[in-house]
Amino acid sequence: MTQINEAKVILWAKDGCHYCQEIKTYFQENKVAYQVIDVTQQDNFRDILFAKYGVRYVPVVEIAPSDSNVYQGITELGLEHVIEGLHTVGSGVHE
C-alpha cells in the first residue's frame, strides 16, 4: 500500500524532459508532495546543479527527511534511483 510521503522532495526539471515527466507522474500517483525547480532557459540554475552535484542535466531529485534540511541529491537517470532514495530517507513510500 502506498502512503503519503513525509520527506521533503525537490525535482529539478525542464519542459519536454521525458525522464522529468516520468518522475512527476510517479510522485502524483503515489501522493508524494514535491516542489519543482524549472531549469528551462535558466542557465544559472544549471550552474547551481553543477556546483552542488557536478552535473548540468535534469532530472535531479533532492530528498530530505521531514525533520531535516540536509538533502540527498539523486542524479542518476531512472525512476528506480528516485524510489530507492525515497526509501533511504524513510519517506513512507512503498511499492
- At 6 the pLDDT is 75
pTM given for the model? 0.86
Average pLDDT, the chain: 88
Contacts of 18 (CB under 8 A, 6+ apart): none
Helix (H, G, I), strand (E, B) or coil at 80: helix
CA distance 83 to 22: 12
Distance between CA atoms of residues 46 and 57, nearest Å: 7
Q: Which tens digits make up the pLDDT trace of 24-64?
A: 999 999 999 999 999 999 989 999 999 999 999 999 999 99
Structural domains present in the chain: 8-83 (3.40.30.10)
The per-residue pLDDT for 15 is 95
φ and ψ at residue 72, rounded to 5 degrees: -100, 125
